[in-house]
């Protein structure tokens, strides 16, 4: 049975509003944990104000942050899923939903032409919103996820080499946090996503996905990577820098790392900070048209992280 395009469009509009207004529970819980042990008076005040801000946003149904960031889409297709009108119709529906929701909520029309600065006032334009795809075996649903990540600060890339080792990784991690943490340019405490390996472009994409498409508290299945996640989170919170760069201990709500096999001579690394407005929302649209909303994108799976040539793992494991 093909999923009706109208269902996908209304779901996408609803997701845009949810992402803009409702702070995900996993991020909120992580932030509250940091707040409990924050001893810096100014940093604690900032977090307190943010907690009140999330409440105000939900009560008034208004955007939690005036800066919409860059709304974008992640689509995960079950291998058996069929959409009315196919992927072209889906892309049109996502663009329509973005424009419609921008007006209705309202969101700030953030997207402009990079040179002329022309603004369509609807967050839609050339290559915007971005739409990325993933696939999932043995499934007939479609997962729609929207992320509205703040745009300007907190991201960097560097080509490291195997000889740089963990010390080099720690250094580049600190460089990024300190550079963008001063004055709170990155609007920390943040979910810090790290891309390790791949090519330059995949390294950036993996790191961004790690920040925006994994939840606070999630753990990478590879034990070496999982250990580095813990270590870097502790390191970030031991700098002595809190919210807005004030003295304190609240810098990293969680550290998520995603890795890809890379050139044998290199060890590329990217760092991304998903801010105090860690806006994401997901919906699963089933083949019969019914819709389930959630805040965990479940973007990564045993399938997406597979290391073998063939995919023949039993279904139960594939669903993770």
Told to check if 275 binds ligand SF4 by CB under 6 A, we report: yes
| Choice between 157 and 293, CB closer to another protein | 157
31 binds ligand SF4 (CB under 6 A): no
Q: Which stretch binds ligand SF4 (CB under 6 A): 65-73, 80-88, 95-103, 214-222?
A: 65-73
Secondary structure E strands in the chain = 70-78, 131-136, 142-149, 156-160, 190-197, 252-260, 267-274, 279-285, 291-294
**Which of ligand SF4, another protein, none is residue 46 near (CB under 5 to 8 Å by kind)?**
another protein
Count the residues of the shown chain that bind ligand SF4, applying the rule CB under 6 A: 8
Residue 198, number of CB atoms within 10 A of its CB: 22
Give the one residue of 65, 83, 128, 206 binding ligand SF4; rule: CB under 6 A: 65
Residue 276 interacts with ligand SF4 (CB under 6 A): yes or no: yes
Residue in 71, 150, 195, 242 binding ligand SF4, rule: CB under 6 A: 150
Which residues face 191 on adjacent strands?
Answer: 254, 274
Beta-carbon contacts of 290 under 8 Å, excluding residues fewer than 6 positions away, are none
Residue 46 CA: distances (Å) to CA of 43, 53, 149, 276, 317 = 5, 10, 20, 11, 42
d(CA 96, CA 93): 5
Instruction: Please tell me whether residue 24 binds ligand SF4 under the rule CB under 6 A.
Output: no
Partnered with residue 282 across adjacent β-strands are 145, 294
Answer yes or no: are the C-beta atoms of 164 and 106 closer than 8 Å.
Answer: no
Does residue number 187 form part of the binding site for ligand SF4 (CB under 6 A)?
yes
Number of continuous H segments (helices) and E segments (strands) in the chain: 8, 9
Q: Does 276 bind another protein (CB under 8 A)?
A: yes
Catalog residues that contact another protein under the rule CB under 8 A: 41-42, 45-46, 48-50, 52-54, 56-57, 60, 62-68, 103, 105-110, 112, 117-119, 121, 150, 152-153, 158-161, 163-165, 167-168, 170-172, 174, 178-180, 182-185, 187, 235, 238-241, 243-247, 275-277
């Amino acid at each position: 049975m093909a999923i009706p395009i109208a269902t996908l469009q209304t779901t996408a509009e609803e997701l845009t509003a949810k992402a803009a207004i409702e702070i995900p529970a996993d991020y909120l819980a992580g932030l509250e944990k940091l707040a409990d042990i924050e001893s810096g008076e100014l940093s604690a005040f900032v977090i307190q104000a943010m907690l009140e801000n999330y409440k105000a946003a939900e009560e008034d149904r208004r955007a939690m942050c005036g800066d919409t960031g860059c709304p974008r889409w992640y689509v995960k297709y079950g291998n058996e899923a069929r959409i009315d009108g196919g992927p072209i119709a889906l892309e049109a529906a996502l663009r329509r939903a973005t424009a419609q929701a921008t007006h209705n909520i309202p969101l700030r029309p953030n997207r402009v032409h990079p040179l002329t600065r022309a603004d369509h006032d609807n967050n839609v334009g050339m290559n915007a919103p971005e739409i990325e795809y993933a696939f999932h075996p043995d499934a007939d649903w479609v997962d729609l996820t929207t992320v509205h990540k703040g745009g300007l600060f907190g991201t960097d890339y560097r080509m490291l080499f195997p000889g740089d080792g963990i010390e080099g990784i720690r250094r580049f991690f600190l460089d990024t946090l300190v550079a963008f943490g001063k004055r709170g340019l990155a609007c920390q405490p943040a979910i810090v996503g790290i891309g390790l390996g791949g090519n330059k472009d995949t390294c950036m994409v993996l790191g961004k996905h790690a920040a925006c498409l994994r939840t606070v508290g999630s753990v990478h299945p590879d034990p070496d990577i999982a250990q580095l996640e813990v270590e870097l989170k502790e390191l970030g919170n031991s700098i002595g820098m809190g919210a807005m760069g004030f003295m304190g201990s609240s810098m990293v709500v969680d550290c998520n790392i995603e890795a890809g096999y890379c050139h044998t001579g290199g060890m590329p690394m990217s760092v991304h900070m998903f801010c105090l407005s860690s806006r994401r929302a997901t919906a699963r649209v089933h083949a019969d048209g019914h819709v389930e909303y959630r805040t965990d994108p479940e973007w990564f799976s045993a399938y997406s992280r597979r290391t073998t040539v063939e995919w023949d793992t039993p279904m139960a494991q594939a669903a993770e």
